[in-house]
Amino acid sequence: MKLNDKVAIITGGGSGLGRQSSQLFAAEGAKVAVVDIDPERAAGTVKLVQEQGGTAIDIVADVSKKAQMVDAVARTVDEFGKLDIMFANAGVVSRGGVPSVAGGEQVAFEDLTEEDWQHVCGVNLTGVIYSAQAAVPALKANGGGVILATSSASSIVSYHSIALYQATKAGINGLIRGLSLDLGKFGIRANAIAPTHGMSPNFLAPAGTPVVGQSYEETAGLWDPVVSPIPLKLNRPPSLVDNAKAALFLVSDDSAYMSGVTMPTTDGGTLSRVGMWFEEDLNPTAAS
């Protein structure tokens, strides 16, 4: 098993990629601390891990609060004796979302408020910083380890209506490069994944929405690779597991000499284009 005897914290572990990664990491031998702001979702993930024979605990914490992340690390070390992996996965989309995907109302950039920015930055960027800061003392004490963050393809190319979100994800990429230099001497690696496809609809859904457990593409109905906008044509849709396997690679010894890297995942060739195209780009009159 790739993570035998390892201890991992996964933030945003109550749904989406965090839940899928918790299950996969545990299946590969890790003891997992599932951190989420929603206690029911965190407990739900722990139940799934335990049902498959794995070991996990749930911790309720807000990643935008440094003290809560310090406490989360302390609880994990108290329970499992050490920390090997901090997967800073928790994230939120900026207000307005991606209208053509979520069916929501577009919010003009100039109408976004100070509170909008503080919220998305607090979770997506500050939350990664606080997660990493909380983890470093435990990782040093362990003789090394891994910090992994969830960035986004939107840190590389543009999406509609989520400029604030894109700014935070681009910030993660810079943070990871800096941490790789600063922490490498302690045997600590720092990397990020930048998913394109195969992510959860829960990401754009209101708080409290039941956890879907599938990707956007899996929930969209019968899969037809011919009409899919993804250049790579396979006989199945991209899934959460595809991204979780990339995360597994970057926290395991299979990537022992990778650090400072933001790796696009579950892309299928989409990033070979100029950008992520939606209907209003291909048919401008549809947006008028």
The catalytic residue among 130, 165, 216, 257 is 165
- Here the contacts of 154-159 (C-beta below 8 Å, separation 24 or greater) are 154/276, 155/194, 155/262, 156/194, 156/264, 156/271, 157/271, 157/273, 157/274, 157/275, 157/276, 158/275, 158/276, 159/98, 159/276
* 261: number of Cβ within 10 Å: 17
What's the longest Cα–Cα distance across the chain? 60
| Residue type at 229 in one-letter notation | P
**What's the distance, CA 226 to chain centroid?**
29
Return the structure tokens found at 201: 């609809």
Among candidates 95, 91, 93, 92, which has minimal Cα distance to 116? 95
Gap between the Cα atoms of 24 and 45, Å rounded: 11
The DSSP output letter for 267 is -
| Catalytic (active site) residue 165 | yes
Would you please indicate which residues are annotated as catalytic (active-site) residues? 165
